[in-house]
Amino acid sequence: MQELLIERRSVAYFSMEIGIDEKIHTYSGGLGILAGDTIRSAADLKVPMIAVTLLYRKGYFHQRLGEDGWQHEEPAPWAVEEFMQEMGPRVKVTVHDRTVHLRAWKYEVRGITGFSVPVIFLDADLPENSEWDRTLTDYLYGGDDYYRLCQELLLGVGGIRMLRQLGYTDVRSFHMNEGHAALLTMELLDEEAKSAGRERLMEEDRKAVQGKCVFTTHTIVPAGHDKFPMEMARMIIGQRDDFFNLEGVLHDGHTLNMTRLALNLSRYVNGVAKRHGEASRQLFTGYSINSITNGVHAATWISEPFRQLYDKYIPMWQKDNFSLRYALNIPKTEVWDAHMQAKRKLLDFVREQTGTVLDENVLTIGFARRAATYKRGDLLFQDLERLKGIASGAGRFQVIYAGKAHPRDQGGKELIQRIFRAKDVLAADIKIVYLEDYSMKLGAMITAGVDIWLNTPEPPMEASGTSGMKASLNGVPNLSVLDGWWIEGHIEGLTGWAIGNGLPENPQDRNHSRDAASLYDKLERTVLPLYYQDRERFIDVMRYSIAINGSFFNTHRMMQEYVLNAYFSC
Ligand SMILES: *Cc1c(COP(=O)(O)O)cnc(C)c1O
């Protein structure tokens, strides 16, 4: 009886990528990390969740950077059997008139009290499948649109079928983490019709399915919204006119738009920060779109020295992240000592990886995120003379970069090259390193070990951003453009500093010189003087970062909002 109760799962969380562990290469960036953090918090808080994703035996990719900064991709396979357990049941999905067999692997994410959330990884690498179909769960974000839609069909339809096979029949909320899994609605619709003894879908099925689905949209960048032409959808999904003709399934009558499908078939929809909710409401008029601001899983991203500090002064912090507000009582010298330990660890790593020796007494700026052009990783280098002037005047600083570009993102790859060029030009004045192969491990080390976390997206493109939250939890203040979560977390001079006024740049200004100028001013007049001349006040900002932002921008708080507003409401 007890077993049965524990195994009941009311929330099924579907995500194209999930960042479980450094060694399991099933994530590419923020979306996957958020999914992993969501699951870790669900486990800590005993939320009865089960998660579903694809296996990606060949992973995303390992990044190698040439002398010239050009990115090369290498395969990133990993040993599935070392981490996961194969499960018995198999399911079949018809993909472009072929039958694709799927099996499942299970990974248990265990929370602090021992409660665990199973993560189901769907795997098409079975002898029953054709050689080509066996590769369908090999690559995350690899292949063309055809490959992608096949994957999304497996995730959505295959995922629901697998859950049913595994005995999860009383799920109340199906949470689509981004639109990739939106085809799960088709399977749920079919279940409704079937249980009513009908062959064809009807409007009442749509209402019933809508009552079961929750959708989180994560971006307003157009490339983040999957769209497939009708002919391709018909070919891969099948001649399902009853589905395609149902209200809300097709956009404009001829495009399968995964975001629209999820919007139309969910009872609760949210963006991932307040500003992103607003931007999404403008982009998708006519929908009720809420916002739940993202967070990060505190215990995952806090460095060892800070973990010990919190254990000593705030013993309940892991269970109750809100209690991090008491960080204001931790003696400043201990905050600084913990920070310096994290910084030394990072600088040691930098020396081992790059041969560059950075000075632990120099203000260190960190910037690590996907090399996507809207994140403007090179904004710092708009005016190299000005930058040199700041370093020789207001105070020295050094910069640590990391981040992968998507293999087909030419602009992102060129962005990395521009950073390399600036690095060479500035070599005599400002030390800059670019660490290869950004990953969870690197992310944790960099966000904890630098003195300032820099964030320069083009507003309003950064839906939330989460790396700055990791920095806050480690007492690292943010210096950031007012976009995404920072609009909510920013208190000038108290939790960090703003760059610019949060409005989009004048489109005529190709150099983005307004935000660059603001960045230089803040660095020169505020951040460097504070760091070098008023360390006490600088440590105040570190403590407020933890107390005000660390205590709030975590996935424990976020999960509580999903539970209250999305999963168990209605
Ligand atoms: C935290 C993290 C991200 C997301 O960072 P953003 O600030 O949202 O861009 C991406 N990749 C890795 C490896 C991370 O640890």
pLDDT digits (tens, 9 = 90+) for 37-94: 999 999 999 999 999 999 999 999 999 999 999 999 999 999 999 999 999 999 999 9
Q: Verify that 281 and 302 share a domain, yes or no.
A: no
Task: Report residue 4's pLDDT band, with 50, 70 and 90 as the boundaries.
Answer: very low
Residue nearest to atom 12 of ligand 1 (CA): 29
Q: Verify that 378 and 357 share a domain, yes or no.
A: yes
Q: Verify that 280 and 306 share a domain, yes or no.
A: no
Task: Express each pLDDT in 231-250 by its tens digit.
Answer: 999 999 999 999 999 998 99
Q: Verify that 84 and 126 share a domain, yes or no.
A: yes
* Per-residue pLDDT at 185: 98
80-94, 457-471, 477-491, 501-515: least confident range: 501-515
Beta carbons of 48 and 11 less than 8 angstroms apart: yes
Residue 500: pLDDT over 90 = yes
- What is the share, in percent, of the chain residues with pLDDT greater than 70? 99
Whether 3 is in a domain gets the answer: no
Whether 502 is in a domain gets the answer: yes
Residue 173: pLDDT over 50 = yes
Considering the chain, what is the average pLDDT of its residues? 96
* Per-residue pLDDT at 512: 78
Q: Verify that 436 and 563 share a domain, yes or no.
A: no
Q: Determine whether the shortest distance from the Cβ of 531 to ligand 1 is under 6 A.
A: no
Whether 459 is in a domain gets the answer: yes
From residue 127, alpha-carbon distances to 94, 105, 131, 133, 484 in Å are 16, 16, 8, 10, 46
* Residue 121, phi then psi, degrees to nearest 5: -105, 115
Type of residue at 564: L
- Which domain, by its residues, includes 474? 298-553
Those residues with Cβ within 8 angstroms of residue 8's Cβ, 6 or more apart along the chain or in another chain: 48, 170
**Separation of alpha carbons 404 and 29, rounded Å:** 9
Q: Which two tokens stand for residue 212?
A: 């079961």
Q: Verify that 260 and 379 share a domain, yes or no.
A: no
**Separation of alpha carbons 437 and 177, rounded Å:** 25
Residue 487: pLDDT over 90 = yes
Q: Verify that 303 and 158 share a domain, yes or no.
A: no
Ligand 1 atom having least distance to the Cα of 30: 4
**Separation of alpha carbons 280 and 278, rounded Å:** 5
Whether 287 is in a domain gets the answer: yes
Q: Verify that 224 and 143 share a domain, yes or no.
A: yes
Q: Determine whether the shortest distance from the Cβ of 435 to ligand 1 is under 6 A.
A: no
Q: Verify that 265 and 314 share a domain, yes or no.
A: no
- DSSP secondary structure, 147-210, as one string: HHHHHHHIIIIIHHHHHHHTT-----EEEEESGGGTTHHHHHHHHHHHHTT-SS--HHHHHHHH
Residue nearest to atom 3 of ligand 1 (CA): 30
Q: Determine whether the shortest distance from the Cβ of 294 to ligand 1 is under 6 A.
A: no
* Per-residue pLDDT at 2: 41
**Separation of alpha carbons 205 and 223, rounded Å:** 31
Beta carbons of 485 and 550 less than 8 angstroms apart: no
Strand partners, 214: 175, 268
SS3 395: coil
Q: Determine whether the shortest distance from the Cβ of 467 to ligand 1 is under 6 A.
A: yes
Q: Verify that 258 and 350 share a domain, yes or no.
A: no
Whether 91 is in a domain gets the answer: yes
Whether 346 is in a domain gets the answer: yes
The Cβ of residue 408 has, within 10 Å, a number of other Cβ atoms equal to: 10
Strand partners, 14: 52, 176
* Residue 399, phi then psi, degrees to nearest 5: -130, 135
Task: Express each pLDDT in 204-223 by its tens digit.
Answer: 999 999 999 999 999 998 88
Task: Express each pLDDT in 513-561 by its tens digit.
Answer: 899 999 999 999 999 999 999 999 999 999 999 999 999 999 999 999 9
Ligand 1 centre distance from Cα of residue 463 (Å): 13
Task: Express each pLDDT in 179-192 by its tens digit.
Answer: 999 999 999 999 99
Residue 6: pLDDT over 50 = no
Q: Determine whether the shortest distance from the Cβ of 111 to ligand 1 is under 6 A.
A: no
Q: Verify that 305 and 284 share a domain, yes or no.
A: no
Ligand 1 atom having least distance to the Cα of 296: 1
Q: Is the dihedral of CA 439, 445, 448, 450 positive or negative?
A: negative
Q: Determine whether the shortest distance from the Cβ of 28 to ligand 1 is under 6 A.
A: no
Residue 378: pLDDT over 60 = yes
Q: Determine whether the shortest distance from the Cβ of 369 to ligand 1 is under 6 A.
A: yes
Radius of gyration of the chain (CA): 24
From residue 146, alpha-carbon distances to 103, 233, 237, 461 in Å are 22, 9, 11, 27
Total domains in the fold of the chain: 2
* Per-residue pLDDT at 232: 97
Residue 321: pLDDT over 50 = yes
Task: Express each pLDDT in 257-284 by its tens digit.
Answer: 999 999 999 999 999 999 999 999 999 9
Q: Verify that 373 and 479 share a domain, yes or no.
A: yes
* Per-residue pLDDT at 5: 45
pLDDT, mean of residues 424-431: 97
DSSP, res 406 = P
**What CATH code is carried by the domain that includes residue 458?**
3.40.50.2000
Task: Report residue 570's pLDDT band, with 50, 70 and 90 as the boundaries.
Answer: low
**Separation of alpha carbons 115 and 42, rounded Å:** 9
